[in-house]
Amino acid sequence: MARPSLFGLLLIAPALAMIGALFLYPLGYSLAAAFTEPGGSLSLVHFQKAYDLYSTDIVFTLFIVVVSTLLTGLFSIAIAGILTLSETPWLVAVLRQLYRWPLFIPFIVAAQCMRTFLAKNGLMNNSLVALGIMEPIQATSFLDWRGIIITFVWKQVPFVTLMLAGAMASIDRATIEAGRNLGASRLRVLIELVLPQVAQTLLVGLVLSFVTMLSVLSVPMMVAGSQPTMLTVDMAFRINSYGDYATANALGVISYLIAGTVAWIYLRHNVKREMQA
């Protein structure tokens, strides 16, 4: 067992081949298509075109994904915090049963739900009008950037909350009790004692959510109108309408860069933490 097992490599080879053929090879293909001119020489001309045509959408995508990630973090902390620190058992029990529902609901189903729920004449506006909170004349459609953010947050909060509540349940209760006994409010205990101990889990959950939201095609297509829109929709449009792989791949590389930046922030945080430890 001291040296690498050849048998082990043999067992893992088919899975590796699959990743190679269906992920690494297309990845290389996309980089090649984005960085080479029709002549075959290296150039950034496709990025110039992508920037000229879609700079608004790049900013729009960043805005949507960053805001959704922040809101997801905020709501998840609130729900997980209530689950961990609330002193009202029935509240915790009900909330625990409720919050998970969207967890395994596919994005496309969430998009279809929101497409009807957030519409001008959707159930949300209708309920607000029926309750007398809003005048019918004030009803507006949320099917734009707000709709995308609402759908993303609705879908991702259960996932991050699940991770966060798990991490919070496993921290030492004594620190919380000590803080409470010394007279700290529950909000203060949450922010100053609990959160620092689960920051790592929160970060992982948010990074995964960020990349997921960056990759989703169905939600921006179904929930929002055509302009401005997210990079995924632009890529699909370049391919389906023009067969323009070069510009689409340049946009793809831009989305890798956005995802890569977030991964880098995560890794840097990790390194810093290990240095401190």
Partner 1 sequence: MSVKMRLSSAAAGPDPQALSGAGRTPALAQERVSSVAKARTWAYGSTLLKILGLAVFAFLLFGPLANLVLWSFAERWYAPFKLPVSYGTRYWEVVFRPTGDAMSSLATSVSIACLTVLVALAVSVPAGYALARLRLPWRTALMILFLLPQAFPSVAIYINVARVFYSLGLTGTISGVVLVHAAHGLVYSVWIAAAAFAAVDRDLELAARNIGASPLRTFFTVTLPLAAPGIMASAIFVFLESLDEFTGTFFVGVPQVTTLPLLLYNASMGGNYQIASITALILLVPSILFMIVIERFLKADVLSKVGQ
Which of 43, 121, 138, 175 forms a contact with partner 1 (CB under 8 A)? 121
**What's the min distance (Å) between Cβ of 66 and partner 1?**
15
Q: Is 139 helix (H, G, I), strand (E, B) or coil?
A: coil
Subset of 156-215 contacting partner 1 (CB under 8 A): 208, 211, 214-215
**What's the min distance (Å) between Cβ of 102 and partner 1?**
7
The pattern of x and - marking residues 228 through 257 that bind partner 1 according to CB under 8 A reads ---xx--xx--x-----x--xx-xxx-xx-
Nearer to partner 1, 179 or 252 (CB): 252
Subset of 18-57 contacting partner 1 (CB under 8 A): 18-19, 22-23, 25-27, 29-30, 33
Contact region with partner 1 (CB under 8 A), list: 7-15, 48-56, 66-74, 172-180:
7-15
Residues 184, 189, 193, CA angle at the centre, nearest 5°? Answer: 125
Closest CA to 220 of 25, 17, 18, 68: 68
The pattern of x and - marking residues 126 through 145 that bind partner 1 according to CB under 8 A reads xx-xx-----x---------
Contact flag: residue 114 with partner 1 (CB under 8 A): yes
Contact flag: residue 9 with partner 1 (CB under 8 A): yes
Nearer to partner 1, 193 or 235 (CB): 235
Q: Can you tell me the distance from the alpha carbon of 238 to that of 37, in angstroms, rounded to the nearest whole number? A: 17
* Residues in contact with 107: Cβ distance below 8 Å, sequence separation at least 6, in sequence order: 151, 155, 216, 218, 219
Subset of 256-275 contacting partner 1 (CB under 8 A): 256, 258-259, 263
Closest CA to 113 of 73, 76, 150: 150
Q: Read out DSSP for 21-90?
A: IIIIHHHHHHHHHHHB-TTS-B--HHHHHHHHHHHHHHHHHHHHHHHHHHHHHHHHHHHHHHHHH-S-HH
Q: Can you tell me the distance from the alpha carbon of 185 to that of 205, in angstroms, rounded to the nearest whole number? A: 27
